[in-house]
């Protein structure tokens, strides 16, 4: 029974991902006084891409073809770690947060390799920028999670969530607020959103994530796009689970799960609105300022870790 619930959570994360993307795009459009595309548009795109032919550049090797698959696999694994409506996940206790971070890293790495293998200039440029950003983002990501791990004395995500569930919601925890700030900044960097990267840009010179996709087409492109949508959804779910899990079902009762699911939808909606607002309000940072942005995230996460020494909350 638990397995069923966990599989359903995973499916929710995977299948709901394009919807999340669509909703965010719609919010942004509305904020910018446009009408925007329908929220189901990403699904249409995915189907379209799956039916098309997969072209590969003549100079590429197997790496180019394998990269999207590897990326998709890693991202699905990551999604399997994150509890959504129930305080457990499919791969829940089999790996800790280090595994999570580095699975994401592996996915990114394979995509970068694929982009480099594609042989285009923009692929290389995007890959190198992505490498910079991800190496800088790794520190705050890890440290924020370390701070939470120290507090909850558990290393796996589900354990941390369970610990947080037992805390009083009104005890504002300094460590949590600091960790949330830094992890939020990391999410912006990891998922390639403003102000770090513009996901809707057409100009190749400003592309980071998009630059790596330029050579891909057909099902490979579908896999990559889907993987990045899943990553976004999973990161949002991670934030919710770590910092606002109250309402999650601990038992297996149907009603409990249903309410947990509804609560989750509400929380995700809040985060999506927040993300849309930030994206519309912030201008994209120039490349040399991104390290500063992530430096702030690092400092905040370092403070979070330091505070675990004193605060003990």
Partner 1 sequence: MGLVGIATEKILSSFSVFLFLTIILLAVARRISTSVLLFSLQSAIITAEVLATGFQEKLASAYLVGILIFVIKVVAIPRAFFVLTKRLKTVHDVKASTTPSQSVFVVAVMIYLSYAAVHSYGGAVRAPGDSLAAAIALILTGAFLMVSRKKALMQVLGLLVMENGIFLAALLTTFGMPLVIEIGIFFDILMGLLLMGIFMFRISDTFEHLDVSKLRRLRG
Least Å distance between CB 228 and partner 1?
28
Per CB under 8 A, 177 contacts partner 1:
yes
Per CB under 8 A, 283 contacts partner 1:
no
Span of 22-30, 117-125, 207-215, 294-302 interacting with partner 1 by CB under 8 A: 294-302
Span of 43-51, 66-74, 176-184, 270-278 interacting with partner 1 by CB under 8 A: 176-184
Interface pattern 179-198 for partner 1 (x via CB under 8 A): --x-----------------
Per CB under 8 A, 203 contacts partner 1:
no
Cα Dmax for the chain = 60
Per CB under 8 A, 170 contacts partner 1:
yes
Per CB under 8 A, 292 contacts partner 1:
yes
Per CB under 8 A, 310 contacts partner 1:
yes
Which lies closer to partner 1 via its Cβ, residue 60 or residue 174?
174
One residue of 1, 3, 172, 203 binding partner 1 per CB under 8 A? 172
Per CB under 8 A, 295 contacts partner 1:
yes
User: Quick one: DSSP state of residue 247?
Assistant: T
CB burial readout 23-51, b (16+ within 10 A) else e: bbbbbbeeeeeeebeebebbbebbeebee
Rounded distance between C-alpha atoms, residue 296 and residue 275, angstroms = 19
User: Quick one: DSSP state of residue 215?
Assistant: T
Question: DSSP strand E in the chain: where?
Answer: none
Which residues share a beta bridge with 86?
Answer: 249
Per CB under 8 A, 143 contacts partner 1:
no
Q: Residue 248 in contact with residue 86, Cβ under 8 Å?
A: yes
Rounded distance between C-alpha atoms, residue 242 and residue 258, angstroms = 20
Half-sphere exposure of 165 (CA within 13 A, CB side): 19
Which lies closer to partner 1 via its Cβ, residue 63 or residue 150?
150
Interface pattern 233-272 for partner 1 (x via CB under 8 A): ----------------------------------------
Rounded distance between C-alpha atoms, residue 301 and residue 297, angstroms = 6
Query: Nearest-CA neighbor of 176 among 241, 102, 257?
Result: 241
Per CB under 8 A, 169 contacts partner 1:
no
Per CB under 8 A, 132 contacts partner 1:
no
Rounded distance between C-alpha atoms, residue 263 and residue 247, angstroms = 7
- Chain residues binding partner 1 by CB under 8 A are 170-174, 177-178, 181, 291-292, 295-296, 299-300, 302-303, 306-307, 310-311
């Amino acid at each position: 029974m638990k397995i069923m619930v966990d599989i359903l959570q995973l499916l929710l994360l995977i299948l709901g991902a394009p919807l999340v993307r669509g909703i965010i795009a719609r919010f942004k459009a509305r904020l910018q006084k446009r009408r925007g595309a329908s929220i189901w548009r990403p699904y249409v795109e995915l189907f379209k891409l799956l039916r098309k032919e997969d072209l590969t550049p003549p100079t590429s090797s197997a790496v180019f073809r394998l990269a999207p698959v590897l990326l998709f696999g890693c991202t699905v694994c990551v999604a399997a770690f994150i509890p959504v409506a129930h305080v457990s996940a499919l791969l829940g206790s089999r790996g800790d947060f280090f595994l999570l971070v580095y699975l994401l890293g592996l996915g990114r790495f394979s995509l970068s390799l694929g982009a480099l293998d594609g042989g285009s200039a923009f692929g290389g440029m995007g890959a190198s920028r992505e490498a910079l950003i991800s190496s800088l983002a790794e520190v705050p990501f890890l440290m924020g999670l370390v701070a939470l791990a120290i507090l909850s004395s558990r290393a796996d995500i589900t354990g941390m969530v369970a610990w947080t569930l037992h805390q009083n919601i009104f005890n504002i925890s300094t460590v949590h607020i600091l960790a949330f700030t830094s992890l939020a900044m990391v999410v912006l960097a990891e998922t390639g959103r403003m102000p770090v990267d513009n996901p809707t840009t057409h100009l190749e010179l400003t592309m980071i994530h998009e630059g790596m996709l330029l050579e891909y087409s057909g099902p490979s492109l579908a896999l990559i796009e889907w993987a990045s949508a899943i990553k976004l959804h999973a990161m949002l779910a991670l934030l919710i689970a770590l910092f606002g899990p109250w309402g999650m079902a601990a038992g297996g009762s149907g009603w409990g799960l249903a309410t947990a699911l509804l609560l989750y939808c509400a929380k995700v909606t809040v985060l999506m609105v927040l993300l849309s607002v930030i994206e519309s309000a912030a201008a994209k940072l120039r490349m040399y300022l991104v390290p500063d942005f992530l430096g702030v995230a690092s400092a905040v996460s370092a403070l979070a870790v330091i505070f675990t020494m004193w605060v003990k909350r």
